[in-house]
Every structure is written in structure tokens, then in C-alpha cells.
Structure 1
Amino acid sequence: MSKEFKIGLITIIAGALLYYGFNFLRGSDLFAPSNRYYATYTNVSGLNVSNPVYFNGLPVGRVSGFKLVQDKGFIVVSIDIDEGLVIGKDASATLANDGLFGGKAVVLDVGKSQEKAEPGDTLASEMDGGMLSQFEPVADNLNTTITKLNDLLDQLNSTDIAGAVDTLKYSIGAITYKVNQLDVENTLTNVDDLLVSFKQRSEQMDGLLASSKLLVDSLNQVPLSETLSKVNESLDHVNKLLLAVQSDEGTLGKMLNNDSVYNNLNKLLVDLDELVIHFNNYPKDFMGPLGRKNKKLKGISQEGK
């Protein structure tokens, strides 16, 4: 056996042991029985042969190969999973980041279906950006904020800040001058008088409120229910009286509802009016026994004519 052959054999054995040991340290047992399944992805950047397959954080298999399907634009990934792991028909294989250095791994979800997936089946495939993808919205917002901050700084650079400061100083000085010219003492005196007047009005309002409270207490002491009962009885009597007046019963009802009573009363008033006129014109006709006799009644004879 030549020296070169021995070196080559040793190299092959060492490489095999190194490969096995590396995979063993990663949790993959090359000699454990496994079932092969497939998953399809559009991008497998960072995923290599022997990369782990995890289930709930536990390594249960490894990536065993790739196959490009160019006409359909995806890549078929072969994954070997431990034979003892039961996988349902609705299982899925998600391509996710494995650490912060760009490595990839397949995360397995065995599903809830009672029907088992057969070796050689293609599992539902998904892609997850992993932990780094959670920072993408923050990075976008931070980029937007930085852009707006740059725009603001550019506007400040193009603005005459010194002139704005001078204008502000001038405005403050003018306000101070106006305040110094105000008669602050008289203003405070007027405010004090106003507060005293307001206090007096408040005391008057207190007295008015006290009187109102007494009035309310007096009203509360009135037997309201008894008073309302008496008012209700009075209204009943009035209603009965009005009903009697509207009917033909009684003198007032007959006078209001019977025309004959009205006509008789009207005739009586006319006769009485004529009697008064006659008495006024010929009083001697009524002064018996000094008055005229019936045949000589002047008023009657003239009326007869």
C-alpha cells in the first residue's frame, strides 16, 4: 500500500468524521431513520444543505437538497425529518432566519389534521422574515424622520435667524414699554372695588337663596294631595252644574234651551217697559182715588185713538 493511498484514505475518513461530527453537534444524526418531504420557495438565499429543521425549537431534521424548477420560478427543497415525528396533511414548512448572521432554517408546523402526510408529500411552504423583519417598519419610520429633520435643518439654514431674534427682542421691548406706561395701581384699585362689589352681591344672593329655601319648605309643608282632592271635588260639582244647565231641567236650563220661556220673558219686559213709559207720561192715571176714572184715563184714551 503506497504512502499516497494511505494519506488519501486518512483524509477521506477524517472528512467523513468531521462532517458527521459537525452535523451531530448541530443535532442531526445522519444514521437515524428519516422520512423525506418537500417544500417550495421562491428564494432560498442563506439556506444550505444540512441546515436544520426545527419543531418548537427542537432540531428534528435537516435540509438534504435543492432542485430548481425554472419554468415555474421556484425551488424545491428536500427536507429529511425524523421518522418518529407524526406530520399531518395540513403541516407547513416555514423558511425563517436562524440567528443574526444571515443563516436560514426550516421551521416545521406538524398541523392538526388527523390524516397523516406520506413521505414524499410536498408541504405547505411559507417565508418568514424572522426577527430582522420586525425592524423594517422601524427602519422605514426612522428614515422618514431623518428626511424630515434634514428638510427642517435646511429651512433653518435658509432663514435669517439673527433678524428673527432682533425682531423678537424689539417686540419684547415694546411690550415692556407699554406695560410700564399702564397705571397699574389704579387698575388694581378698580379690580379690588370690583371684588368688593361682587362680594356684596354674593351676600345678597345668599339672602335670596335662603328666602327661596324657606318658600320651598313652606310649599313642601302644604298638604298638596288634600288640596288637589278638594279642587277635584269642586270641579266635579261645576261639571254637574253645567250639565244641569245644558239640560231642560231647572229654570236656568229651560231659559237657555226653551224658546217659549225666552219669548214670554221678552214680552214681559216689553210690557213692563210700556208701563213705565205710560206711568212717566200720565202719572195721574195711577194716583187713585184722586186719579181719573177708567173712562177718563187720558193716556188710555189717547192710546185708543
Structure 2
Amino acid sequence: MNSAKTNYVAVGGFVLAGVAGLVVAVALLTGRTGSADTYYTAYDNVTGIKYGTQVLFEGFPVGQVEAVRANPKAGGPRFAVEMSVKSGWAIPDDSLATIAASGLLAAVSIDIKAGASPNRLKPGADLKGSSGANVMSAMSQLASEMGDLSQNNLRPLLTSINKYVDSLGAVLEATAPALLRNMRELSDDLARRTPAIIASAENFSGRLDAAGQRLLNDDNLKKLDRSVANTDRMASDLAKLATDLVLTRQRIDQLLDEAKGALGDSRSELAAGMKDLGHTLDVVARNIDSVTHNLDSTSRNMNEFSRHIRENPGLLLGGKPPRDEAARPQ
């Protein structure tokens, strides 16, 4: 009897120890091993967030989610989340509470990314929330888009390809014998013509080689060398000519500068000469009528003189003019 009681006590103690260990393990996993401070954050989507969701600070467990409530404020995040964090845990006031998962199949948690502000949040304050990427949702959306792509694009494409393949198969089935026959005839004709083609190619190669030898004989090579040398000399002469042209241009510029200087020095003399010329032209213009009259008189006198000379050339030697018979008295 005492042995049975002892066994019952041992089993009961073992069960109590297991329960206590389980409670301690749960408390350690959730970060609830002592007093806690309450903080709040808000999200538009709280998929996977519920009571007991682990709260991490830079990956270190510091608490858990206590409650998720709908946010009645219009225009703001739709859900408010209450978190309990180890009492006295220092959280910078510019920290960010992000919904994240450590792996593809891992449970969702709230990871607090520490900010750089020296100021610390007080218990009961609000943390800025940021919804992380939902891998499963993204994969589901990708699978949906792939299904839509397969249904609306790939399937019609495969149908069209199958139709074209069937059409091509029918065409090949109808034309393949003739095509194969033509290919066989072409192959036979090519086989018959191959020796002639090879002979023509060899003949062309020989003629090309002979032409190359004639073109590149010693005499032509010497002429080519002389042409290259002449080209070099011509290039050198052109370079010298260019240098001479540059010097000539410099001399012309210098001559023009000297002419400008000489013109500047004699500008006063030129002005005086132009003034005198103007005065002379003015005098000529005023006396042009008398000059013209005198020239006219002189011209008439010269005409009269020439007439007398023609009638009596002896006047030039001091003779007298012949007597006019018509003027002789009766």
C-alpha cells in the first residue's frame, strides 16, 4: 500500500514538474518572464497577427501581441495592435514595427527595427507600423497570374501552333516526295559537275597566281618602290610649300601693316593734295566755257590755216598767194 502511494506521489510530482517546465518554456518563448510595458502600433493588413504572436527587437524576443482591434478612425490604419514588451526595454522613438517572417513556412512576428534617435519611447506610446511583404500572398498572386497567363495566352498559342503544325504536315506530306526527288536530282547533278567545278577552280587559281607573279615581278616592285619614294618626296615638297606659304602670308601681313602705317603717316599730305585737286577742278569748272570758246576759235583758225596751205603751199616759204582772176578788173 505504501509502495502504491509512493508511486502515485512520484507520478504526480513528475507531472507537476512537466507542467511547470512547460509553463516556463512558454513564458521564455513569449518573452513573458516578468513585468511588461504596453506599446501600440497599427496596420492596414494583420494577416497572421493574433494574440500570442511573438514581438522581436532586432530579432531578439522581447514580448508578444496582446490584442488586435479594428481601428475606428477614418483615413488611418484599419487595425490597432497592442503589444507587451519586457519592462524597461529601451526602444528609440523613431523605431519601426514591421510584420515579418523568418522563413517561408515560419510563423509571422512583429520585428521592431531600432531607430537612431537618442530619445526613448515611454510605455503606452505608439510605434510606427510597416506591413512587410507577404511571401505566401505574393506566391498565390503569382500562381494566379501564371494560371491566367496559361489559360488566356499559352493555350491559344499552343492551339495556333498545333493548327500550323497540322497544316505544315499536310503540305509536307503532299510535297515531300517531289521535294526529295528534286533534292536527289540536285545532288546527282552536283556530283556530276563537281570534277568540272574543281578543275575550273584550279584553273582560276593558277591564272590568279600567274597574274600575281606578273604583277609582283622585280621590275614592278622597283617601280612601286620608286613611286612610293616619289610620293614621299612630293609629300616633303608639299610640306615645304606649306611652310613657304605660311612665311609668304606673314610677309604679306607685315607689308600690309607697313602700308597701313605709311598711309597713316601721309594722310595729312593726301588730304592737302585732295584739297588742291578739288580747288583745281573748281577753277576748271568755272572757266570751262571760255576754254571751250577759245578751243572752238582755235579749231576754226586751224581749219582756215590748213585751207590756205592746201591752196598755196608756198606760203610756208614766204610766197604770195596767186592772184584771183575772177577779181581782176575789166
- Same fold by TM-score greater than 0.5: yes
Cα gap change, 1:280 to 1:91, in 2 (>3 Å): same
CA contact (8 A) 2:50 2:68 kept: no
Give the C-alpha shift of residue 244 in structure 1.
4.8
Q: Deviations over 1:12-40 (max 9, x none)?
A: 6633421321453x4x5432443111222
- Aligned pair count reads 271
Which residue of 2 is the match for residue 224 of structure 1?
249
Q: 2:113 maps to what in 1?
A: 109
After the TM superposition, which of the residue ranges 155-164 and 9-18 deviates more from structure 2?
9-18
In structure 2, relative to structure 1, the CA distance for the partners of 1:279 and 1:131 (3 Å cut) is farther
Pick closer, same or farther for the CA change 1:281–1:83 going to 2, 3 Å: farther
Offset at residue 88 of structure 1 (A)? 3.2
Taking only aligned residues, the RMSD between alpha carbons, in angstroms, comes to 5.5
Structure 2 match to 1:283: 309
Q: 1:44 aligns with which of 43, 46, 54?
A: 46
Quick one: distance in 1 between partners of 2:159 and 2:320?
136
Which residue does the alignment assign to 2:285? 260
CA contact (8 A) 1:96 1:128 kept: yes
The one-letter amino acid of 1:153's match is L
C-alpha deviations, 1:80-136, integer Å up to 9, x for none?
223343223333311122321151111113434444322112222221116667878
Check the 8 A contact 1:97/1:129 in 2, yes or no.
no
Contact in 1 for aligned 2:55/2:65 (Cα 8 Å) = no
TM-score under structure 2 length normalisation: 0.57
Q: 1:291 to 1:63 in 2, by over 3 A?
A: farther
Match of 1:65 in 2: 66
What amino acid is aligned across from residue 227 of structure 1 in structure 2?
A: I
Q: Which residue among 138, 160, 176 is the counterpart of 1:155?
A: 160
Which stretch has the larger CA shift, 158-167 or 81-90?
Answer: 158-167
Question: Structure 2: which 5+ runs fail to align?
Answer: 184-188, 190-200, 216-225, 323-330
* Cα distance in 1, alignment partners of residues 240 and 60 from structure 2: 83
Matches within 5 A, 1:81-120: 81-101=85-105, 103-120=107-124
Deviates more, 1:154-163 or 1:210-219: 210-219
CA contact 1:255–1:261 (8 Å) conserved in 2: no
Measured in 2, the distance between the counterparts of 1:269 and 1:207 equals: 72
Distance (whole Å) between structure 2 residues aligned to residue 76 and residue 104 of structure 1 = 17
> Match of 1:281, as an amino acid?
R
Letter in 1 for 2:54: P
Give, in angstroms, the shift of residue 11 of structure 1.
5.2
Q: Extract unaligned runs of 5+ from structure 1.
A: 178-183, 197-202, 297-305
SS at match of 2:275: coil
Q: Which moved more, 1:139-148 or 1:78-87?
A: 139-148
Q: Percent identity?
A: 16
Structure 2 match to 1:31: 33
Q: Contact (CA 8 Å) 1:40, 1:77: kept in 2 or not?
A: yes
